[in-house]
Structure 1
């Protein structure tokens, strides 16, 4: 009975790690947004995996199989938490949301990421395109800017210029992206 219960805990830990990695993979530009929104939580899923592996090691310790569970803790649970240190976007808020003209299944989102202070160099701005609906919908990063000062390309605005074009304006110029194929393609960059 103990072996079965310990195996169940260990299998749950493996599933939590796999879910965390799948969520981070889909969280990249062009990934499926429904999966990313659900599973791109490496800290929560990594800590869940760690708890399940610890429970498995406690149950299996008496049956002599505890070493396997401890190796699983080190090899799977800790690396599942580590990418969260480098995986941005956790504190981003939606500053603007706008559907594409013409009723297309596309939405432009402008996200703001605050830093440790109110200074411009600690702020981030990201323009994303949500393309499609349901489980097949994709989220693309159109433009990203971390920590700029005035005169260095500080984000000003983003909006639609027709159903297939997005215009991003900074204090140093304008960029036009074509999104007719899903993935954004830079068409032009005009200095201010």
Structure 2
């Protein structure tokens, strides 16, 4: 294999590995308390995993010159590409219409209560779900905390209200429970009141 071609294959493999690592970091920061800007930028499976797969497919096609290995590699990578594409198309088909409401804390503009409502066109109305989030700060240091995930199954609770009930307190009310969260004065981290 010519030197330039070998360098291109190595570059494609490194690029594919980097895309997977970036996506992994985005997934990690999507957890409760993670850095919201990093999560928003890097938790993109279609873009980053698609780019990684494309780089690996290109590296496989340009790589090994032996016929049997090349044929097997191409078959596996093309199959993986088709499966990934079908998964992306299926995910978009069942994607939800999403609305967000945002309310800043009384006298604390760095804190925001966010309620995300997802309505699925392919599911009955009872399958809507809500996610209640607290966003603390902005930019690279801003964090996002998950307070409640409501309504994943037909027999789950339904959100009635999520609101600021004090300068450092959030109350989430559903048709079956009420949860109160107090915020840490320094970090803004929510702690459920017992």
TM-score, normalized by the shorter chain, greater than 0.5: yes
Instruction: Tell me how far apart the structure 1 counterparts of residues 28 and 96 of structure 2 sit (CA, whole Å).
Output: 19
Residue aligning to 1:108: 113
RMSD: 3.0
Residue aligning to 2:175: 171
CA drift at 1:131: 0.6
Runs of 4+ in 1 over 3 A off after TM superposition: 147-150
Residue aligning to 2:133: 128
Distance 1:148 1:49, change over 3 A: closer
Q: Is the 8 A contact 1:32 1:138 kept in 2?
A: yes
Instruction: Tell me how far apart the structure 1 counterparts of residues 50 and 153 of structure 2 sit (CA, whole Å).
Output: 35
Q: Is the 8 A contact 1:92 1:114 kept in 2?
A: yes
Residue aligning to 2:64: 61
Gaps of 5+ in 1: none
Gaps of 5+ in 2: none
Instruction: Tell me how far apart the structure 2 counterparts of residues 62 and 147 of structure 1 sit (CA, whole Å).
Output: 50
Q: Does 1:182 align with 2:188?
A: yes
* Correspondent of 1:29 among 19, 32, 39: 32
Q: Which moved more, 1:156-165 or 1:33-42?
A: 156-165
Residue aligning to 1:156: 160
CA drift at 1:62: 3.1
Q: Is the 8 A contact 1:158 1:169 kept in 2?
A: yes
Q: Is the 8 A contact 1:92 1:111 kept in 2?
A: no
* Correspondent of 1:43 among 34, 42, 46: 46
